Amino acid sequence: MGSPAPKKDPNGRPYLSQIVGDAIRDLTEKRLADLIRQEPVPKHLAIIMDGNRRFAEAEGIAVREGHARGRDTLEELLDWCLELDIRILTVYALSTENLSRPKEELDALMDLFDRALRQIAVDERVHRHQIRVRVIGNRELLPARVREAIDVAEKATGSYSKYRYNVALGYGGRDEIVEAIRALAREVRDGRITPEQIDSEAVSRHLYTKDLPDPDLVFRTSGEERISNFLLWQSAYSELYFSDVLWPGLTRLEFLRAIRAFQLRRRRYGT
């Protein structure tokens, strides 16, 4: 997205107020970025990308275009995370509940996922930074073309480990926990473990994120203050940050504010 094009007066010159505002924004971004680099950033950042449809309505554009603008914001987000050396990013792209949306909207979303995943496989930035891409969720809920695109992206990046980029598609936190319980029940039935051996670590080993640390920060846009069935087990001790900005309108400045707010908190882990 970047900075919006400056508004101009009747003579074709940018308004002074906008020039000053842009300068203040740039200085604030630089100051925040400098402060952030002096302290640890989240190792694992999880983001609930909410507000595409409301953004489209506010802008007077089609819902399809709202989702496309959201995809563009996600592209920028990846750059922002690389800039701060945030090593693990997990984004909530499509929940199981979202699958009940109108067919036309879902078809447009699936087209976006299909194209984006195939582009990831050949993205120079992904290979240069050695980013491993993985999709978490129930793939059987997704069309064949999207499942094929997932395979393409995962195979192209499967050998990387420097950065991790996880996309939650057809994902539901409760369903994930239920599947873990079923897997453990089968192990008990087959005599591989006893009920007494089931603990939090055993459950974690059966989650989609079994090889990842829990998120340090869960960041949600759109003004809603809930986690909406996202990483329910994993976010037990995560810090939460809620922004009023609709996802496609997220700016680098608002992103930096979220990271800085995380750094200024004292994590207590239940104490």
Please state, in angstroms and rounded to a whole number, the distance separating the CA atoms of residues 27 and 5: 18
- Which residue shows structure tokens 């995809």? 71
Instruction: Give me the catalytic one of 11, 22, 50, 190.
Output: 50
Strands 163-171 and 217-220, bridge-based pairing: unpaired
Which helix (H) or strand (E) segment is 47 a member of? strand 44-48
User: How many angstroms separate the CA atoms of 58 and 242, rounded?
Assistant: 20
- Has 166 been annotated as catalytic? no
Tokens (6 digits) for 85 = 């050396």
Write out the two tokens for 185: 């029940």
Residue among 26, 34, 79, 98 flagged as catalytic: 98
- For residue 262, with 0-12 CB atoms within 10 Å meaning exposed, 13-18 middle and 19 or more buried, which class applies? buried
Show the beta-strand stretches assigned E in 103-244: 131-136, 163-171, 217-220, 239-242
The 3-state DSSP class for residue 193 equals coil
Distance of alpha carbon 231 from its chain centroid, rounded? 11
- Annotated catalytic, 98? yes
Phi, psi of 2 (to 5 degrees): 70, -165
- Token duo for residue 79: 């750059």
d(CA 271, CA 260): 23
Residues acting as catalytic residues? 50, 98
